[in-house]
């Protein structure tokens, strides 16, 4: 009996160690990868790398058009995706009554979240580039990315709306406010930081997404900056992909340096998201 108890304790300790390792090993591998990439790209991480245009000589090449293109892309994407996504979330949370249409929309959103991103690229190619003749432009890229991140914006906004206590809504109705007045003046301000967190997460997704942009003409050799939504453009992940695909060793270093830049931008954005999440948790 006693030895059985002991072996039980032993097995339990083994399970604890094994399951702890299952958490630690992947994180260590990622850390190792990131350190290796940093060391690979270190020699290129000079200010000129951020301010130069791509070049056939790896040591002269920089990421300026890609960085600017990515920033324009995420701004345009947010301008399109946020109103639609938040509007959709408001409808589902505040107006929806669980009818067949609401159910269909909900099932559809969770399905869309699982559609491979490259298929959004095919949709963007046929719908925005060709049918709506936007050409291979920033605008076509932004519309495609907006559809891609819409499920993220909707899901995060719904959670933020749900976190607002219904007593606040009832108090607002009791004061004679209509449904929309209540949403606009009470519910939305209360959930703003939660919605913002979702928006930043979707921006991160749009920033790192590569596959759909391949069809939207994110060119890799641009000697100019995009000056209008109809301009051709390139983006950070596309530039990195292009450098990885080249056989010369010098370009691999550029890719590594580009990865460091992309990771720094993403970490900054995530830091902002965490800040707002904590702020929201304090408020509600």
Partner 1 sequence: MDNTHKQSISIERIPLEEASRGIRLFKEGLIKYLLVFCSLVSIFTTVGIILVLAFETIEFFKVVPLREFLLDTEWTPLFYEKHFGIWPLLLGTVLTSAIAIVVALPFGIFAAIYLSEFASERVRKIVKPALELLAGVPTVIYGYFALLIVTPFLQNVIPNLSGFNSISPGIVMGIMIIPLISSLSEDAIYAVPQGLREGAYALGGRKLPTIFRVVIPTASSGIVAAVTLAISRALGETMIVTIAAGQQPRFTLDPRVPIETMTAFIVQVGLGDAPTGTLEYKTLFVVGSMLFLMTFVMNMWSQRLKGRFQQEI
Token pair, residue 256, equals: 């590594």
Site for partner 1 in 128-147 (CB under 8 A): 130, 147
Among 67, 141, 200, 215, binds partner 1 (CB under 8 A): 215
108 forms part of the interface with partner 1 (CB under 8 A): yes
d(CA 54, CA 257): 13
- 52-60, 69-77, 205-213, 223-231 -> range binding partner 1 (CB under 8 A): 205-213
Binding mask 71-100 for partner 1 (x = CB under 8 A): ------------xxxxxx-xxx--x-----
User: Which residue in the block uniquely carries the two structure tokens 């995530």?
Assistant: 270
Smallest gap from Cβ 127 to partner 1, in A, equals 6
CB 145 within 8 A of CB 208: no
Among 1, 22, 174, 223, binds partner 1 (CB under 8 A): 22
Smallest gap from Cβ 223 to partner 1, in A, equals 20
Token pair, residue 167, equals: 């007593």
29 forms part of the interface with partner 1 (CB under 8 A): yes
Smallest gap from Cβ 95 to partner 1, in A, equals 6
Q: Looking at beta carbons only, is 228 or 251 nearer to partner 1?
A: 251
Smallest gap from Cβ 48 to partner 1, in A, equals 22
CB 233 within 8 A of CB 134: no
Token pair, residue 159, equals: 């959670």
Q: Looking at beta carbons only, is 126 or 170 nearer to partner 1?
A: 126
Binding mask 173-192 for partner 1 (x = CB under 8 A): -----xxx------------
Smallest gap from Cβ 165 to partner 1, in A, equals 22
Token pair, residue 150, equals: 């819409």
DSSP characters over 15-62: HHHHHHHHHHHHHHHHHHHHHHHHHHHGGG-SHHHHH----SSTTT--
Crossing angle of helices 236-245 and 249-283, rounded to 10°: 150
Site for partner 1 in 219-238 (CB under 8 A): 237
Start-to-end CA distance of the chain, whole Å, equals 51
């Amino acid at each position: 009996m006693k030895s059985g108890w002991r072996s039980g304790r032993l097995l339990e300790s083994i399970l604890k160690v094994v399951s702890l390792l299952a958490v630690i090993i992947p994180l260590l591998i990622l850390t190792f990868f990131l350190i290796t990439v940093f060391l690979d790209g270190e020699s290129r991480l000079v200010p000129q790398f951020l301010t130069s245009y791509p070049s056939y000589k790896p040591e002269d090449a920089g990421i300026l058009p890609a960085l600017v293109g990515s920033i324009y892309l995420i701004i345009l994407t947010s301008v399109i995706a946020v109103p639609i996504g938040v509007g959709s979330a408001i409808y589902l949370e505040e107006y929806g009554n669980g009818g067949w249409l609401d159910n269909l929309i909900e099932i559809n959103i969770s399905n869309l979240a699982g559609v491979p991103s490259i298929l959004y690229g095919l949709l963007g190619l046929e719908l925005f580039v060709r049918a709506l003749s936007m050409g291979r432009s920033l605008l076509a890229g932004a519309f495609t990315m907006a559809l891609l991140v819409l499920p993220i914006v909707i899901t995060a906004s719904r959670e933020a709306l749900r976190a607002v206590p219904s007593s606040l809504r009832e108090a607002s109705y009791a004061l004679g406010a209509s449904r929309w007045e209540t949403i606009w003046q009470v519910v939305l301000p209360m959930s703003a930081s939660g919605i913002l967190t979702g928006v930043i997460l979707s921006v991160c997704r749009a920033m790192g997404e590569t596959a759909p942009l391949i069809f939207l003409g994110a060119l890799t050799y641009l000697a100019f900056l995009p000056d209008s939504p109809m301009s051709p453009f390139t983006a950070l992940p596309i530039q990195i992909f292009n450098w990885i695909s080249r056989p010369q060793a010098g370009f691999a270093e550029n890719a590594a340096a580009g990865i460091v830049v992309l990771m720094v931008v993403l970490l900054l954005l995530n830091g902002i998201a965490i800040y707002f999440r904590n702020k929201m948790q304090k408020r509600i």
